[in-house]
Amino acid sequence: MSAMLDDLALFVAIVEAGSLNAAAAAEDLPPATVTRRLQKLESQLGYRLLNRSARRMQPTAEGWQYYEQCRPLVHALRQATRQLDASLSAVSGSIRVLAPVNFASGLLTPAWISFMRQYPAIRLELELSNRLQDMVSSGADLAIRVGALDDSSLMQRRLGSAALVMVAAPAYLARAGTPQDLASLAQHELIVAEPLRTWRLRRPGDGAEMVLQPQARLRVNEMRLAVEMAEAGIGVLLCPLLQCRAEVADGRLVRVLPDWMPQPRHVYAVWTQRRYLPARVRVLLEHLARFAQDCPALNEPT
């Protein structure tokens, strides 16, 4: 069907140009190609559209009727295509982004600010949630995802990696003792912050790896609250370093089992399709990538 529409548009162009050669030049096609496609269209329709001779070209009665009926449709289609091209290439309009709460409202805050200042014609709609939302049903243009991606229908661009640390308050360690090995963690009170239900650890010294399914004394789906609870001495927490950097720096939280390095979690920008990504979404994607490249918290040595 699309090929026939192309040939129909070419027929309209031939009539308006006045000759096959003029239409070929206007459409940047070889004259033989124009002749072949016209013949194919006539064959599909079952009647002759043009009377052609060496010197002149004249539409047949059927050709005139066909031209009069199709010309407005072809011009309307071309106009709609031009408008769509302009829309896709315009750095304006609305962008809807899904992102985790603490990650987007803390680490990425400067990126949102600089983006909105740089692109005043873009409206940004940020929907922050710690739950994984379906991009198609939510109508989002872009999403920030942390951790392994298991949806093969999504395109992705890695922005960086978020380092994790295992921490506890000095008051908790004074009361419960300091864990000496991974096995002793089972005797400790643990805080599990969603979505870190599984603790993946690696010991750089000998390359040993361990995957723990921690039994939580406290389970919470908001990382900032988890850090505050750990600081209050409730238990041992695995969390992103960017969420507890200040607490670790001033000693309110201390590293636990420092020989074991939690595996960092990769950070991705994801979207539902590669082709025809609107310019407004492309510029946001590039803006986030540049920000992440210069962001120490997304490039921690591991």
Give tens-digit pLDDT for 12-34.
888 888 888 888 888 888 888 88
Mean pLDDT of 208-225: 91
Which residue, 252, 275, 244, 260, is CA-closest to 211?
260
Token representation of residue 75: 């011009």
| Residue 301, pLDDT score | 63
Residues 72, 70: Cα–Cα separation, whole Å = 6
Q: What percent of the chain has pLDDT over 70?
A: 92
Identify the H or E element spanning 128.
Answer: strand 122-128
pLDDT digits (tens, 9 = 90+) for 113-125: 999 999 999 999 9
Geometric angle at alpha carbon 123, from 296 and 162, rounded to 5°: 20
155-162 and 265-271 as β-strands: parallel, antiparallel, unpaired? antiparallel
Top-confidence range, 8-12, 104-108, 128-132, 243-247 = 243-247
Average confidence score pLDDT of the chain:
87
Check residues 277 and 176 and name the one with the higher pLDDT: 176
pLDDT digits (tens, 9 = 90+) for 270-289: 998 765 688 899 999 999 99
Mean pLDDT of 231-249: 94
Q: Which range (99-108, 154-163, 195-204, 268-277) has the least confidence?
A: 268-277
| Residue 1, pLDDT score | 45
